Structure formats: structure tokens, C-alpha cells
Amino acid sequence: MIDIAILRTQRDALAASLARRGVDFDLDALTDLDERRRQARVRAEEVRANQKAAGKAIATLVGEEKAEAIADASQLAEDYKALIADADALDEQFNSIWVQLPNMTDPTAADGLEEEDAVEIRTVGSPRIFDFDAKDHVELGAELGVLDVERASKVSGSRFGFVMGDLAIVEFALIRYAMDMLMPHGFKPMIPPVLVRDHALYGTGFFPGDAEQVYSITDDDLFLVGTSEVPLAAFHADEIFDEDELPVRYAGYSTCFRREAGTYGKDTRGIFRVHQFDKVEMFSFVRPEDSAAEHEFLLAREEELLGGLELPYRVVNVAAGDLGSSAAKKYDIEAWFPSQGRYREVTSTSNTTDYQSRRLKIRYRSESGNELVHTLNGTAIAVGRILIALMENNQNADGSVQIPQALVRYAGFEQLTAG
RNA sequence: GGAGAGGUGGCCGAGCGGCCGAAGGCGUUCGCCUGCUAAGCGAAUAGGGGGUGUAAGCCUCCUCGAGGGUUCAAAUCCCUCCCUCUCCGCCA
């Protein structure tokens, strides 16, 4: 949710921001509604103030005077009820529209509406040229006996996988690798709940917009998170930090659940796009003036992690129209996937400015009063896709897979081999 | 799943129809004092919306878990829901 003051004082900037996202909103109607709701509120409050004053006087009166005063106050109470109902209805009408507005777009976010409009910032490493027929991760995994998607579909349907044996150990290695890399930078390891209540999803901007991507446990009014960003952000809901506590950084490890509604026929092979995967997610709470730098900082951590795994990748600045509702700016890192012959997203880091903190009421005490913090998130390790990238990029002609040096100390072996 | 207790400001904790947005304590901040960062003294100290003002400020409304209700008046009474804790049962 963005600041309502922006509608009143920076309407042109808001209109420009929406235009860059390709979102169409009738701001004139919204401004009109905003004015009417405030007027209604003032009318109701005037009557309420009179009613309260009258009520206080009653306590000091007796007999007929008292009876008369009660009758008068009674009328005021009735009037107030009608007026406040009016004001509340207008508020509700306004808010239902307002929460749908996406975050203000950062001027440095790339122009364009589509995924393809992302602007490449840099490429690191280069795709490997194979002197043998490279296999994809499904084939490699099956032959090595470390990945089974066929049985997964028997058990759970499409878009699931069993990660097995040494490949499972590589996941554990990746997690520890990520934590060891992040902890020195002040990230606290967290294992959050993956079932959350709806306020956490509203607070992070996934509801109402992206509700169709979220698994719901209707019997208990709980929802499975698609990223630990959700519980990590909501962790500090309704709290006020002391300024010197900031920045607060977390590295959350959790399973992530996504319905992938509307992606039929897209990335259907293997575990590239699945309903369930594990991820280490970075999350930061910072002062507003620090968020742009923090965003670069998170990107730097992502590059450090990927670079350490020796994977070829490129960094892109995501187009305004492809940002999602809560991000003002977003960088994706795309690693090279040999079987697809192209770069695909493996991490994503967003500066959500005060969009989430406003909804979650996360503030800090500053000299000029309490202010909303800025929140940012970024993928440290999306396990499934990294496992694919490692297998496909580091495969040998005999179907074995080389483990990057940085992981060997955690995994305890240097290769994935059959048998 | 069964039985009970409770949800009040940064924290603890009183209040149980009107003088309560809320005693008292702790903490924090500012000032004073004391020949050292201790004690003591004084003051300030919840969040949010709206109006007005260049601003400091002033006015006003809402919030004592959430939402309804009773009443001229609700933290206080009634209803529904949520959450936490204790005991029992079950369980990784």
C-alpha cells in the first residue's frame, strides 16, 4: 500500500508510475472519493464531539434537566450513528481500491511492460561449450539415481520431485554454504513457519493480487507460503524499531509452495518449475534513506553466492511492468541452463520500499518521529534451480557431475556418480 | 480432543458504567544535583486518522486482542470470533 498523501500531493508522479507499469486507474474518481470520505468523517466527528460533551454534562444533572439532556444526547447519538456509517462506507470503498494500487515505481527501474524488456546489466562467466552430448537434469538425475520425477507424479501429481541420495546432501551443503556466506554480513538464520494467516499475505502484498498462486488450508484458515519473505516480513508486524537496531537482516530457510496456476505447458520438464521447493531468502528492514544501497547490497550477496558456485549468469534490471505489486525496483539474476540454451531466473531481489511496512505497520523511532521502515528481499539460494544448474553445467561426458569447490567441504564429496 | 485462566501503553501491572487514553512501577529521554558511568530530585514519554496553520502548535475523532450489541455514556455489561498460557489426553 502506498502513502495516501501521494494521491493528494503528487498525483502526476503517481499517474506516471502507474503508466510505466501499464496499469490503468481513474485517479480523478479516486481523488473525488478521497475528498468525500474526509468530509463525511469531519461531519460525523463534529456530531460525536457534541454528543460526548453532552454526555459529560449529564453526569452532573438531576431530575427534569437530566431527562431533557438525555433526550437531546440521544438524538445526537442517533445522528452520529448514521453519519459514521456513511463515513465508514466511503472509507471502505476507497480502501478497497487503494490497496490494489501497486507500489510507486523507482525511476531507475527499467522501462517496458514485459519480461523481455528487462535490461541486462552485466554478464559474468560464459556458457560452457560441451564436446559431448550434454544431458538435461532429468536424464542426469535419473541415471545418477538422485532425482525421480516419475514417481513424484505417481505420489503427488505433476510438478513435484524426489531429490535423493547425494543430491539431497548437496542441498544441505548449499544451505550451509549460503548461511556461512551471509552470517558475517549480519544476517540471522531463520527457519520460519510456512503456514501463515492471511494478514501476513495481505501485509506482504501477495493478497489480494496474487491469491490464486497460494495454497490455502481452508479448514484452518491458514496458507502455505510461496516464499519465506512472507513470515520474515510479518515477523516484525506492528513493531517499532529503535533507529540504532537497523538494519535488521534475516536469512530464512524454508520450503516454498506455489500453485503455478496459469503456467500449464510452461517449463513442464523436471524440477525447474515445481509446486514445492526449498529456498534461502534474505530479508532486510532498513531506514528509508538506506534502501537503495541495501538493494545493491543484496544483489552483491546474490552475485557472491552464485559466483562462488562458479555458475555463468547475467544480471537484469526488471521492467517496470513486470515488477509485481510490491516492488519499486527488482533485479533478477539468471543463470545459464545448458539444456534450455538460455539464461533463466535463479534469484530475484526487490526493494519494496514502504509498501509492505505500511500494511504491516513496521516503523522505527527517528528524531522526527516514528517512520515506516523500508523492506527488501532477495533470493540467496533457490535450491531446485541451483541443483539443476549445477548438474547441467558441471556434467562430465560419463554422466557424473562435478561439485564446485566451495561446496565440497560441506558435501564431503567432489562428484555425483552413479552407483 | 477435554478442563480451566487470561489478553490493557516499550515492559510489568491496576482499573471492572461517567472525573480513564488509562493509577503505580520499570525502562527510556531531557534537565538539576552530587568531587568520578551509583543513589537522589524535577519534567517528558502509546499508536493512528481528520481539520487548521509556512511552522511550532491548536482542535477533534478512533484504538485497552478483533468484530458486533446494550446505554445519553463502555477498558469496564452482553454476544461472536481470534490468540496466549496451565492441566489432562494424543503425538514428531
A110 part of a folded domain: no
Measured in residues, chain A has a length of 419
* A87, A186: one domain: no
A14 part of a folded domain: no
Instruction: Specify the pLDDT at position A244.
Output: 80
Residue type, A292: A
Report the distance separating Cα A130 and Cα A149, nearest Å. 26
List chain A residues with pLDDT less than 70: none
Residues 224-283 of A with CB under 7 A from strand B: 240
A4 part of a folded domain: no
A317 part of a folded domain: yes
Instruction: Specify the pLDDT at position A207.
Output: 83
Report the distance separating Cα A287 and Cα A244, nearest Å. 10
Kindly determine whether the C-beta of residue A42 is less than 7 Å away from any atom of nucleic acid strand B.
yes
A83 part of a folded domain: yes
A319 part of a folded domain: yes
A237 part of a folded domain: yes
Question: CA of A211 and C1' of B88: distance in angstroms?
Answer: 40
Instruction: Specify the pLDDT at position A114.
Output: 92
* A133, A89: one domain: no
Structural domain including A346 reads 115-416
* A125, A93: one domain: no
Q: Beta strands A313-317 and A363-366: pairing type?
A: unpaired
A64-90: b or e for each residue (b if 16 or more CB lie within 10 Å)?
eeeeebeeebeebeebbeebbebbeeb
CATH number at residue A155: 3.30.930.10
* A178, A271: one domain: yes
Kindly determine whether the C-beta of residue A45 is less than 7 Å away from any atom of nucleic acid strand B.
yes
Instruction: Specify the pLDDT at position A380.
Output: 97
Question: CA of A363 and C1' of B23: distance in angstroms?
Answer: 29
Instruction: Specify the pLDDT at position A369.
Output: 74
Instruction: Specify the pLDDT at position A87.
Output: 87
* A195, A235: one domain: yes
Rg (CA), chain A: 27
Instruction: Specify the pLDDT at position A88.
Output: 86
* A45, A152: one domain: no
Question: CA of A182 and C1' of B37: distance in angstroms?
Answer: 36
C-alpha cell at A284: 532486510
The residues of A annotated as belonging to the active site are: 258, 273, 345, 348, 385
* A289, A316: one domain: yes
In the numeric block, the cell 510452461 is attached to: A266
Q: Which residue's CA is nearest to the C1' of nucleotide B28?
A: A242
Instruction: Specify the pLDDT at position A315.
Output: 97
A293 part of a folded domain: yes
The ipTM (two decimal places) reads 0.82
With beta carbons less than 8 A apart as the criterion, state whether A415 and A402 touch.
yes
Q: Hey, which bits of A197-260 come out as E strands?
A: 215-217, 222-224, 240-242, 248-257
Q: Which helix (H) or strand (E) holds A370?
A: strand A369-372
Kindly determine whether the C-beta of residue A49 is less than 7 Å away from any atom of nucleic acid strand B.
yes
pLDDT, tens digit (0-9, with 9 covering 90-100), for A42-72: 999 999 999 988 888 888 888 788 888 888 8
Domain finish residue from A98, A123, A141: A98
Q: Please choose, from the candidates A253, A291, A282, the residue with its C-alpha nearest in 3D space to the C-alpha of residue A375.
A: A291
Calculate the alpha carbon distances from A249 to A122, A239, A285, A293 in Å: 26, 15, 7, 14
* A93, A120: one domain: no
Q: How many domains does chain A have?
A: 2
Q: Please choose, from the candidates A58, A54, A93, the residue with its C-alpha nearest in 3D space to the C-alpha of residue A75.
A: A54
Instruction: Specify the pLDDT at position A65.
Output: 84
* A318, A174: one domain: yes
* A137, A255: one domain: yes
Question: CA of A318 and C1' of B26: distance in angstroms?
Answer: 50
* A84, A130: one domain: no
* A275, A352: one domain: yes
Instruction: Specify the pLDDT at position A5.
Output: 87
With beta carbons less than 8 A apart as the criterion, state whether A295 and A351 touch.
yes
Kindly determine whether the C-beta of residue A74 is less than 7 Å away from any atom of nucleic acid strand B.
yes
With beta carbons less than 8 A apart as the criterion, state whether A233 and A286 touch.
no
In the numeric block, the cell 522505527 is attached to: A364
